[in-house]
Chains A and B, each alone.
Chain A
Amino acid sequence: MEMRRFIFEKKWLAFLMGIWVFAAACKKDKTLELDEFYRFKMVKELKLDTLDKKVYIMGFEETNSVLTARAFDAVKKQLNIPDEALKYYANGEELENGVFEPGEEGDYKIYAKLGSIVSDTISVRIWNKMNMKLVLKSEVPPGLVADGVSKAVFKPEIYLNGVLTTNGPSPEIYIDGEKISSTTFATKKAGLYEVQAKGFGLESEKVMLEILSPAKKLVLNYTLNSSVFWANNVSEATIGIQAFDINNQAIDLSEDVQLFHNGVLVAYPLKFKTNEVGLHNFVAKGYKIQSNEVSITAQDQGIYSIIRMPVVFHEVNTKELTATGIRDILANLTLAYRNSLNRSGGPKDGNAADVFVEFYAATTDPNGNTMSVPGLDRVTSTKSSFNINDTDTEAWNSFWNPETYINVWIFPNIKGDYASSSWAYFPAVTQYIKGLNMAEKGSRPYYPFGVFWNYNHKIYIEVLAHEVGHVLGLSHVFDGNGSSFESCSSDDPDYCPDTPYYDRNAYEKSLQGGSNKNYYRRTACSGEVYNSTNYMDYDYSYENSFTANQVSRMRFVTNYGLWIPTPFNQPSGGRRSAAAGMIKKPDGYIFTPPVICPIPK
């Protein structure tokens, strides 16, 4: 039985082997088209990756390229395609290993194939540098000017075997050896330029480009912040340059316009100040032309002999002044008259000038006695408050000889219309000057000549400087008659041309209401807008300047004015020790209104 099973099994085995042999004999590999391969069957789009350029230039750059392609399925998903399965062709010829190696000049159409799937075709042009020529053409408008707007247009052209090419690479354009980023050129600098196209190791012929100056003329002008350009480092000349084209239209200045001061290049724009007396010449150069020459004379403000004036403060009823306090007050007053005080820190007037007047505390009283506190005369009044008539009456009781002292009365508790005012009197002069009364030398004062310094103002040195200015013959810079304000008149109210005047009423009105106030800004009757800096103006003013014309007026008064402690009235000059005496109220005295200086409320 076992043997039979074995035999049977052998037979089955033989049968199976027969089948195997049969199948093996039938085996004949058949192949299918590559397109039928399943992965490739999913390819819906074969896309050849573009090359870096459309045109390659033999003899200048590498022209061989390794080609790549990508396959995408129906949903634009990229499929992994073996590189070996992709074939690349150039002009129908298969490229070995997918490398494009053009051997000669020509146009090539390159595509990839995956089985029978063909990619898009890209075109590549191969040019031979040896057969190329670079030509630079230009479109230059006649009379091209350097205005920064007018432009020359350049068009570099490439010729291949004598034929103009299109859609090729763009050569660079160089102007005076520097590459420009566009094919147009505009400049504000006139001159002759050398233009050339370069690229691919080739250079075009050079083209000369002449760009004319856009300006027909340069005009130099200036404005001053003062009536006279003083060599005081305060007067300021603003130098301006304007350029005009052939149509006389103003044009923007080019960068090459330069300003020269006495032949030396200076920065522009220029605000010129100097303390060098003399002529200062300015000229502008640019656009290959030169401006008119501007000459500014910096004038010396003049040096006067210093006049020192003793001052006595008649302190009525109060006892606050001390020797130190008086010394400080007069030191600051002196600074004001020496053009050196600027407690506000504001801008100075361009015409600001030194008066050359100094003040000191009187050391000897009218009786010739040495004063216990220099410059201080304490006065006791039975009144506790004062109107202007009261002050006048009290002043006559303590009126020291004004040709020896500057009398300054300090009244507390001033009542009435002048409660917030200080005031002073004008002097009389022996020589005519507009705005002051004349009197014979030796005439006695017919009003208590001096300063009435409101007790409430005694911390304001500028108020004292202002009132002393009246004593030395100065008027308010604004239009008005003493305590009243007027609108703009035709005449200069202070007789000083270098102090602009304005409508005080309009100014004070401008300070009422509104939020955009400018307290220091004035609009002169001439229309000029300026900052108030003059001591003879007041609230609100920087109060830091006497102008040159004011100095001239004050020096006229010190030369010819009565009742002032000047060499004119005291020929010996200097400190006085002799008894000066008191001034008595004249018989039949009639009150004369002073110059009232109310502080706005």
Chain B
Amino acid sequence: MIWLLILLGSSIARANFPGSNSHLSEPDSLKHKKKITDFVRFKAGVMMSSFYRPDISSSNGILTNPLWSWQAGIASDFFKRKYHYSRAELSFNTKGAKEYFTSDGVEIESINQFRNLQLSVLPVVLRAEPKKINPSVGVGFYFSQRLSGSSKTGINGEKVSEDPVSLSFFDVKQDFGIVLNLEVMYKKHPGIEIRYEAGLKSQSTLRDIKNRALVFSFIF
């Protein structure tokens, strides 16, 4: 799926390259026929995710022991102005955490992966004067619906195996949170996004556990 989306996005981008400048707003005086890529962009990348427990300071951070996964989807910009615009995205991603629990000589490796369909909205994306390097920064929010999930557990170094009991612990299948997005585009090349997503809704009714994710992706 991910490779299909990347290849598809890449081919469309190439078909539009280098004349395409959909990322940049067009002067009002410039009139030409719009292509689909003027409205829909494709993005794909890798995601580092983890769980955040507000009551434990030693909770894993995203960078300390992330769960590596992927993200792919489509994005569209609206209300384009010279220095700002809005964006809406619909993507598939996999969030979760890879964690280790230990005590009294027992070590448990736990991997939880939840595949979601996520809608992200960035109402305000600010960008600078168009130059050779074009950075932009945006904030917004997301809402996601879990499509499937799996929990795997390994004891004392043994190979992880399915753990339906742990999976049942994560009994909340919806999530929403805030998005902080940084995008850099070099001239007319595909942009690179670095995005931080912080979930606001606990993923379990038994424990306050929230999603955190750092996403690196290309946008075409």
User: Which of A36-44, A124-132, A389-397, A424-432 faces chain B?
Assistant: A36-44
Q: How far is the CB of A4 from chain B (nearest CB, A)?
A: 9
Is there contact, CB below 8 Å, between A31 and B155? no
Is there contact, CB below 8 Å, between A34 and B189? no
Confirm or deny: A80 has a beta carbon within 8 angstroms of a beta carbon on chain B.
yes
Is there contact, CB below 8 Å, between B60 and A23? no
Is there contact, CB below 8 Å, between A32 and B65? no
Confirm or deny: B163 has a beta carbon within 8 angstroms of a beta carbon on chain A.
yes
**Chain B contacts of A16 at CB under 8 A?**
216
Complex Cα distance A499/B129, Å? 149
**Chain A contacts of B21 at CB under 8 A?**
none
Confirm or deny: B4 has a beta carbon within 8 angstroms of a beta carbon on chain A.
no
Q: Which of A30, A40, A116 has a CB less than 8 Å from the CB of B100?
A: A30
Given A29-B65, A41-B169, are A34 and B163 also a contact pair (CB < 8 Å)? no
Q: How far is the CB of A241 from chain B (nearest CB, A)?
A: 77
Given A8-B189, A84-B155, are A34 and B60 also a contact pair (CB < 8 Å)? no
Is there contact, CB below 8 Å, between A39 and B207? no
Confirm or deny: B101 has a beta carbon within 8 angstroms of a beta carbon on chain A.
yes
Confirm or deny: A345 has a beta carbon within 8 angstroms of a beta carbon on chain B.
no
Confirm or deny: B26 has a beta carbon within 8 angstroms of a beta carbon on chain A.
no
Confirm or deny: B138 has a beta carbon within 8 angstroms of a beta carbon on chain A.
no
Confirm or deny: A574 has a beta carbon within 8 angstroms of a beta carbon on chain B.
no
Is there contact, CB below 8 Å, between B155 and A23? no
Complex Cα distance A42/B207, Å? 10
Confirm or deny: B106 has a beta carbon within 8 angstroms of a beta carbon on chain A.
yes
Complex Cα distance A231/B83, Å? 143
Given A16-B216, A80-B165, are A34 and B63 also a contact pair (CB < 8 Å)? no
Q: How far is the CB of B127 from chain A (nearest CB, A)?
A: 19
**Chain A contacts of B93 at CB under 8 A?**
none
Confirm or deny: A82 has a beta carbon within 8 angstroms of a beta carbon on chain B.
yes
| Residue of A whose beta carbon sits closest to that of B194 | A19
Contact code string B159-185 (vs A, CB < 8 Å = 1, else 0): 000010110111000000000000000
Is there contact, CB below 8 Å, between B110 and A37? yes
Given A23-B48, A26-B64, are A39 and B169 also a contact pair (CB < 8 Å)? yes
Is there contact, CB below 8 Å, between B104 and A38? no
Is there contact, CB below 8 Å, between B103 and A33? yes
Q: Which of B103, B151, B190 has a CB less than 8 Å from the CB of A115?
A: B103
Confirm or deny: B25 has a beta carbon within 8 angstroms of a beta carbon on chain A.
no
- A residues 227-242 touching B (CB-CB < 8 Å): none
Given A32-B100, A32-B101, are A37 and B108 also a contact pair (CB < 8 Å)? yes
How many chain B residues have a CB neighbour from A under 8 Å? 42
Complex Cα distance A34/B155, Å? 11
Is there contact, CB below 8 Å, between B59 and A32? yes
Confirm or deny: A27 has a beta carbon within 8 angstroms of a beta carbon on chain B.
yes
Is there contact, CB below 8 Å, between B192 and A12? yes
Complex Cα distance A524/B203, Å? 103
Is there contact, CB below 8 Å, between B170 and A34? no
Complex Cα distance A576/B135, Å? 166
- A residues 444-488 touching B (CB-CB < 8 Å): none
Q: Which of B64, B107, B112, B169 has a CB less than 8 Å from the CB of A42?
A: B169
Q: Which of B18, B63, B102, B204 has a CB less than 8 Å from the CB of A31?
A: B102
Is there contact, CB below 8 Å, between B106 and A30? no
Confirm or deny: B148 has a beta carbon within 8 angstroms of a beta carbon on chain A.
no
**Chain A contacts of B104 at CB under 8 A?**
34, 87, 94, 113, 115
Confirm or deny: A268 has a beta carbon within 8 angstroms of a beta carbon on chain B.
no
Is there contact, CB below 8 Å, between A12 and B189? yes
Confirm or deny: B29 has a beta carbon within 8 angstroms of a beta carbon on chain A.
no
| Residue of A whose beta carbon sits closest to that of B60 | A30
Is there contact, CB below 8 Å, between A23 and B65? no
Confirm or deny: B153 has a beta carbon within 8 angstroms of a beta carbon on chain A.
yes
Q: How far is the CB of A539 from chain B (nearest CB, A)?
A: 94
Confirm or deny: A517 has a beta carbon within 8 angstroms of a beta carbon on chain B.
no
Is there contact, CB below 8 Å, between A31 and B101? yes
Given A12-B189, A31-B100, are A23 and B169 also a contact pair (CB < 8 Å)? no
Most buried by A among B48, B65, B101, B106: B101
**Chain A contacts of B58 at CB under 8 A?**
30, 32
Given A31-B107, A32-B101, A33-B101, are A42 and B165 also a contact pair (CB < 8 Å)? yes
**Chain B contacts of A19 at CB under 8 A?**
216
| Residue of B whose beta carbon sits closest to that of A16 | B216
Q: Which of A30, A34, A40, A80 has a CB less than 8 Å from the CB of B65?
A: A30
**Chain A contacts of B204 at CB under 8 A?**
38
**Chain B contacts of A29 at CB under 8 A?**
64-65, 100
Q: How far is the CB of B201 from chain A (nearest CB, A)?
A: 17
Is there contact, CB below 8 Å, between B100 and A27? no
Confirm or deny: B36 has a beta carbon within 8 angstroms of a beta carbon on chain A.
no
Q: How far is the CB of A422 from chain B (nearest CB, A)?
A: 105
Given A16-B216, A31-B107, are A84 and B156 also a contact pair (CB < 8 Å)? yes
Confirm or deny: B79 has a beta carbon within 8 angstroms of a beta carbon on chain A.
no
Q: How far is the CB of B63 from chain A (nearest CB, A)?
A: 4
- A-B residue pairs in contact (CB < 8 Å), sample of 19: A1-B18, A8-B189, A11-B186, A12-B192, A23-B48, A29-B64, A30-B59, A31-B107, A33-B103, A34-B102, A36-B53, A36-B56, A37-B101, A38-B204, A39-B166, A39-B169, A87-B104, A94-B104, A115-B104
Not counting A12-B218, A82-B155, A94-B104, a sample of 13 additional A-B residue pairs whose C-beta atoms are within 8 angstroms of each other reads: A12-B190, A27-B66, A30-B100, A32-B59, A32-B101, A34-B101, A36-B56, A37-B110, A38-B169, A40-B101, A41-B206, A84-B156, A115-B104
Q: Which 9 A-B pairs have the closest CB atoms?
A: A34-B103, A38-B169, A26-B63, A38-B166, A37-B101, A31-B100, A39-B165, A31-B102, A39-B166
